[in-house]
Chains A and B, each alone.
Chain A
């Protein structure tokens, strides 16, 4: 569904992503792991059309997204839940959700909007309760649910989540992850970017590990869960030297 080949992203002379390749198949739940500054967000920005210049190839459903505007990419079926939620605080919960369907109002799928609103409310009953409350007054967990609900309103084929667990209490995190798992079970294709490697790998089919803009590992979730390199990559920790702890 999504295929990235040799992606390079730079900000002036600083290269954030050095020739990264990755792929997401229909129905997959793929996780991208990495410490701060590993290049995860740059990669997502490129996929969503928010990064102006990049090199390489990004194909979504066999078509390049090069030159497509962010709304066109949303219409094509990629919807993102951004890092830090980025909900519209002064608007009501309901208006936030409707904004998610913005690209659909002039298309043939607008008739389904009311039904989709209902579906999101079913999924997150708390949003129904607070439908006319200002989004800025919601708790962190509720805001995250709103951000996910808003992304779903675009009826995405590929749902991209950037750090959905960030700043949330563990209980809320496990709830959010359960919701993500439900999506996967309903056939939604998901690209999940996370620092919380363990939690992400527990629900993912496969994972990729980015380190300073380079892809250093990938594999099935069961392989990566036991990989010491993964722990080091996302914790940004390294051993002292090759013999660290085993000098005898």
Chain B
């Protein structure tokens, strides 16, 4: 029964379930969130006009900028008294994006995380160790809840060095590591550089979160660490991790489409692409109470698989690609908006349109946002110390804003 109600359902029954959930989501959003209501009314649409899943395309799309412009609570669909958890993500503009969960949301989310862990073979006999960067701390909590619900022993997320993490991994007999691809790679390199044999670990699997991982990387990691590696798809803003999870039989991810409905659109025309074609992933929550998303543009590139899976999962299949359709860069699984960084630099340095190149660099298990800033007259100061101070302050403040470490270098 890992798929709850979806087990044993025909395609028609699944569609009915999704339609029922979609309709009540729309009714709640329309009634409680002025943003959603106004956007529907502008188009002369009422929730009751959505009579089939295909009608979803009649609804307007939303994206990350809407999350920032309705800061802090503008998109909440329940009174604040019903909220039991509040999460913050960096957002794309000056304001962060905030999402909330009701008690029921947490129950549903826990079920989805449990399902996704279960699909990777995690049971109550496992010891789960969570190692995620501070920007993905929200996911750490969700994985902890899901792991505990499954009956596993969970070592929650805490900021440890590479060496200490390895010690815990070895001494606590961790069987399941949940981390980012970047950290997993660093861990393996560290182990081999320092002569630690993977045979001394009890690790059975690594769950990689935050960004897509190609098959070659998975295979390499599996061979070097003697584990199974699984990729999970999630959103750092909302509602959390494990929206989709790897299936070894499918050769892709199963998306929890009983609670989150996927669509693929052409990012330019915003029209749906034929089933099976690649495009931008758009998600609609079907059971979220506090923070419903209606046709949310993720910026991720994916395609929906058309074949049914040999694992008998009733959930839809999805392939997730590295490219993005928006102007964001993934650092340690956290999406950083390049526009936001540029606006921030502009304000902090008092320079209009600062010329810069933005990259990610990976060192000692952490990824850093590296900004190469071109020196010009406006930026130049006789006082080297003063310039260094400005740069250091900017690094610190920007890191807090985007949730990942920032390194600024001045170039000619």
Binding site for B on A (CB under 8 A): 3, 5-6, 8, 18-23, 25, 206, 208-209, 211, 214-220, 222-224, 226-229, 239, 241-246
Inter-chain contact B287/A219, CB cutoff 8 Å: yes
Partner of B104 from A216, A224, A246 at Cβ < 8 Å: A224
Stretch at the interface among B16-24, B153-161, B343-351: B16-24
Please provide the chain B residues from 62 to 96 with a CB less than 8 Å away from any CB of chain A in the complex.
73, 76, 78-82
Q: Which residues of B contact A6 (CB under 8 A)?
A: 48, 51
Inter-chain contact B81/A222, CB cutoff 8 Å: no
Q: Which residues of A contact B24 (CB under 8 A)?
A: 209, 214-218
Inter-chain contact A228/B102, CB cutoff 8 Å: yes
Among B4, B13, B73, B107, find the residue whose CB has the most chain A CB atoms closer than 10 A. Answer: B107
Q: Which residues of A contact B17 (CB under 8 A)?
A: 23
Inter-chain contact A22/B20, CB cutoff 8 Å: yes
Q: Please measure, in the bound complex, the distance between the C-alpha atom of A246 and the C-alpha atom of B289, giving whole angstroms.
A: 19
Q: How many residues of B contact A (CB 8 A)?
A: 30
Inter-chain contact B107/A226, CB cutoff 8 Å: yes
Q: Is B31 interfacial (CB-CB < 8 Å)? A: yes
Q: Kindly provide the distance from the CB of A76 to the nearest chain B CB, expressed in whole angstroms.
A: 20
Among A219, A222, A245, find the residue whose CB has the most chain B CB atoms closer than 10 A. Answer: A219
Q: Kindly provide the distance from the CB of B36 to the nearest chain A CB, expressed in whole angstroms.
A: 14
Inter-chain contact B76/A242, CB cutoff 8 Å: yes
Q: Would you mind naming 6 contact pairs between A and B with Cβ atoms under 8 Å apart? A: A8-B48, A19-B48, A215-B23, A217-B24, A229-B82, A244-B81
Q: Is B397 interfacial (CB-CB < 8 Å)? A: no
Q: Please measure, in the bound complex, the distance between the C-alpha atom of A214 and the C-alpha atom of B50, giving whole angstroms.
A: 13
Q: Please measure, in the bound complex, the distance between the C-alpha atom of A195 and the C-alpha atom of B325, giving whole angstroms.
A: 48
Interface string of B89-119 (1 = CB under 8 A from A): 0000000000000111001100000000000
Q: Kindly provide the distance from the CB of B346 to the nearest chain A CB, expressed in whole angstroms.
A: 34
Inter-chain contact B104/A5, CB cutoff 8 Å: no
Q: Is B47 interfacial (CB-CB < 8 Å)? A: yes
Partner of A242 from B51, B80, B103 at Cβ < 8 Å: B80
- Interface pairs A-B: 3 shortest CB-CB: A19-B48, A228-B82, A226-B103
Q: Which residues of B contact A223 (CB under 8 A)?
A: 104, 107-108
Binding site for A on B (CB under 8 A): 4-5, 13, 16-17, 19-21, 23-24, 27-28, 31, 47-48, 51, 73, 76, 78-82, 102-104, 107-108, 287, 289
Q: Which residues of B contact A218 (CB under 8 A)?
A: 20-21, 24
Q: Please measure, in the bound complex, the distance between the C-alpha atom of A3 and the C-alpha atom of B81, giving whole angstroms.
A: 35
Q: Please measure, in the bound complex, the distance between the C-alpha atom of A6 and the C-alpha atom of B80, giving whole angstroms.
A: 31
Q: Which residues of A contact B20 (CB under 8 A)?
A: 21-23, 208, 215, 218
Q: Which residues of A contact B27 (CB under 8 A)?
A: 211, 214-216
Q: Please measure, in the bound complex, the distance between the C-alpha atom of A217 and the C-alpha atom of B102, giving whole angstroms.
A: 13
Q: Which residues of B contact A246 (CB under 8 A)?
A: 80-81
Q: Please measure, in the bound complex, the distance between the C-alpha atom of A226 and the C-alpha atom of B110, giving whole angstroms.
A: 15
Q: Which residues of A contact B289 (CB under 8 A)?
A: 217, 227, 229
Q: Which residues of A contact B16 (CB under 8 A)?
A: 3, 5, 21, 23
Closest chain B residue, CB of each to CB of A212 = B31
Q: Please measure, in the bound complex, the distance between the C-alpha atom of A243 and the C-alpha atom of B82, giving whole angstroms.
A: 10
Q: Kindly provide the distance from the CB of B33 to the nearest chain A CB, expressed in whole angstroms.
A: 11
Q: Please measure, in the bound complex, the distance between the C-alpha atom of A246 and the C-alpha atom of B21, giving whole angstroms.
A: 30
Closest chain A residue, CB of each to CB of B30 = A214
Inter-chain contact B102/A5, CB cutoff 8 Å: no
Q: Please measure, in the bound complex, the distance between the C-alpha atom of A246 and the C-alpha atom of B19, giving whole angstroms.
A: 35
Q: Which residues of A contact B78 (CB under 8 A)?
A: 228-229
Q: Which residues of A contact B51 (CB under 8 A)?
A: 5-6, 19
Closest chain B residue, CB of each to CB of A215 = B24
Q: Kindly provide the distance from the CB of B32 to the nearest chain A CB, expressed in whole angstroms.
A: 9
Closest chain B residue, CB of each to CB of A209 = B24
Q: Please measure, in the bound complex, the distance between the C-alpha atom of A242 and the C-alpha atom of B78, giving whole angstroms.
A: 7
Partner of B19 from A21, A239, A242 at Cβ < 8 Å: A21
Q: Kindly provide the distance from the CB of A228 to the nearest chain B CB, expressed in whole angstroms.
A: 4
Closest chain B residue, CB of each to CB of A247 = B80
Q: Please measure, in the bound complex, the distance between the C-alpha atom of A164 and the C-alpha atom of B89, giving whole angstroms.
A: 48
